[in-house]
Amino acid sequence: MITSRRLDASTHSSFDAHEQVVHFNDTALGLDAIIAVHNTHLGPSLGGCRIYPYAHFDDALYDVLRLSRGMTYKSALAGLPLGGGKAVIIGDPRSIKSHDFMARFGEAVESMGGAYITAEDVGSSEEDMISISSTTTYVAGLPQTDPASDGVAGNPSPVTAYGVYCGLKACVKHVFGSSDLKGRKVAIQGLGAVGYALAQYLTKEEARIFVADIHPAVLERAKSEFGSLLTIGDVSSIHTLDVDIFAPCALGAGLNDRTIPEIKAKIIGGAANNQLAEAHHDRLLVERGILYAPDYAINSGGITSVGYEYFDRTGRNPYPYPLTRTRMNDHVEGIAKTLEKIFSLAKSEGIGTGAAANQLAEKIFKAAPSSAQVRIEASNA
Ligand code: NAD
């Protein structure tokens, strides 16, 4: 049986006026989860379910509060009528998961009454979403069941990669005057679901890629696929290479006091969430003359994908067009325009691009528009 208890996280350092933080337990199944809803001004909160063996409950709480807040900012900037929320399950995904376990987590999601919609994240898969969908409809990232459909469904990672690719082209144009990637050097940290797909987009345009990953198998695959366009780098020094772009696609907090002085790239843009270890690192990047594409602005392809899928499946299309894959790709390509707005605001205000992105996102979600149309205009402006 699942039990729930509302947490008062108001004194927590990462609390940012979260609307709800709920702790769920099922001792028989070993389920220990937290769902945090940061903000629902723009719509129900949508964010992935992270399954991770946190050493302490407080580490899990810290993560879910930061991640759910990030989702509010991400969806707002992406022009989606969605709020920010996230779930974490404490445990090793390799041993803790089963159909019943994930279905029980679905009951936790269901009990939030639609304030929170779940999807994939680190440690959770499409298969898990299917289990979750046996107990709640508040779930996205489900696989496509109709092969003939042009609708959006499934693992959002390829769409995230497409968005990062579009965003990087905008960055290259901003810095070098042309969005052509041929011959540009890009260091990719982490060749996982997003990093690998990004490498495919970049090499199609004959960019030269330098990659590092802790898993040798993925590097072997890359060697045979990318040939002479690929150079294998070292995990500890991939960020120091003399390249045009550094693309963090592994872990968060990679931009910090130690790494920033070592970065030679003119541009930083990648999929990883929470790349800046602390807010002041935004300023440090400006001082080093590095153009930083704020993580939640450039990696919003994934939330756009699961958002479109959810709107479609539940018959709640907020847009005046059908929710096809083509329309979704058009929407994701809007990341380039959003980044240009961020860069221009940062320049005019003399602030970092991270601070500029925050300003733009807050303007959207704090205004609490009353109709989806306003939000669509925000995304197309
Ligand atoms: P993933 O787990 O598939 O890939 C991460 C890769 O990074 C793995 O191959 C791993 O071996 C490698 N890695 C781990 N530590 C490393 C290190 N120190 N140096 C180099 N490589 C290392 O994850 P993903 O889905 O590709 O996501 C990548 C990042 O992007 C994550 O931070 C994730 O939160 C973020 N993100 C992903 C999506 C998405 O749609 N998948 C959306 C938004 C943000």
Q: What's the pLDDT tens digit per position in 215-239?
A: 999 999 999 999 999 999 999 999 9
Interval between CA 251 and ligand 1 midpoint (Å): 6
Average pLDDT over residues 149-172: 92
Mean pLDDT value across the chain: 94
Interval between CA 270 and ligand 1 midpoint (Å): 10
Q: Given this model, what pLDDT does residue 155 score?
A: 86
Could you tell me if 236 and 283 lie in one domain? yes
Interval between CA 62 and ligand 1 midpoint (Å): 20
Q: In which band, very low, low, confident or very high, does the pLDDT at 368 lie, cut at 50, 70 and 90?
A: low
Q: Measured in whole angstroms, how far is the alpha carbon of residue 135 from the centre of its chain?
A: 25
Residue-wise pLDDT for 48-79, tens only, equals 999 999 999 999 999 999 999 999 999 999 99
Q: Domain range holding 62?
A: 3-71+83-132
Bridge partners of 144, per DSSP, are: none
Closest ligand 1 atom to Cα of 159: 40
Query: Is 173 one of the annotated active-site residues of the chain?
Result: no
Q: Is 67 helix (H, G, I), strand (E, B) or coil?
A: helix
Residue 369 has pLDDT above 70, yes or no: no
Question: 269, 244 in Cβ contact below 8 A?
Answer: no
Could you tell me if 61 and 128 lie in one domain? yes
CATH code, 190: 3.40.50.720
Strand (E) or helix (H) holding 302: helix 301-313
Tally of domains in the chain: 2
> Among residues 86, 97, 169, 266, which one is catalytic?
86
Choice between 326 and 148, residue whose per-residue pLDDT is larger: 326
Average pLDDT over residues 292-316: 96
How far apart, in Å, are the Cα atoms of 253 and each of 58, 278, 279, 342, 375? 18, 8, 11, 21, 30
Report if residue 380 sits inside a domain.
no
237 lines ligand 1 (CB under 6 A): no
How far apart, in Å, are the Cα atoms of 29 and each of 7, 102, 129? 21, 10, 18
Q: In which band, very low, low, confident or very high, does the pLDDT at 376 lie, cut at 50, 70 and 90?
A: very low
Instruction: Indicate which residue's Cα is closest to atom 27 of ligand 1.
Output: 194
194 lines ligand 1 (CB under 6 A): yes
Q: Given this model, what pLDDT does residue 149 score?
A: 77
Question: 85, 36 in Cβ contact below 8 A?
Answer: yes
Could you tell me if 101 and 205 lie in one domain? no
Residue 379 has pLDDT above 80, yes or no: no
360 lines ligand 1 (CB under 6 A): no
Average pLDDT over residues 183-198: 97
**Of 66, 75, 125, 214, best ligand 1 pocket probe by most atoms within 8 Å of the beta carbon:** 214
Q: Furthest-apart CA pair in the chain: how many Å?
A: 60
What whole-number percentage of the chain has pLDDT above 90? 91
Buried b (16+ CB within 10 A) or exposed e, 322-356: ebebeebbebbbbbbebbeebbebbeeeebbbbbb
Interval between CA 208 and ligand 1 midpoint (Å): 20
Report if residue 376 sits inside a domain.
no
Report if residue 242 sits inside a domain.
yes
Closest ligand 1 atom to Cα of 252: 32
Lowest-confidence range among 94-98, 166-170, 265-269, 371-375? Answer: 371-375
Could you tell me if 183 and 278 lie in one domain? yes
Q: In which band, very low, low, confident or very high, does the pLDDT at 283 lie, cut at 50, 70 and 90?
A: very high
Q: In which band, very low, low, confident or very high, does the pLDDT at 247 lie, cut at 50, 70 and 90?
A: very high
Could you tell me if 223 and 347 lie in one domain? yes
Strand (E) or helix (H) holding 146: none
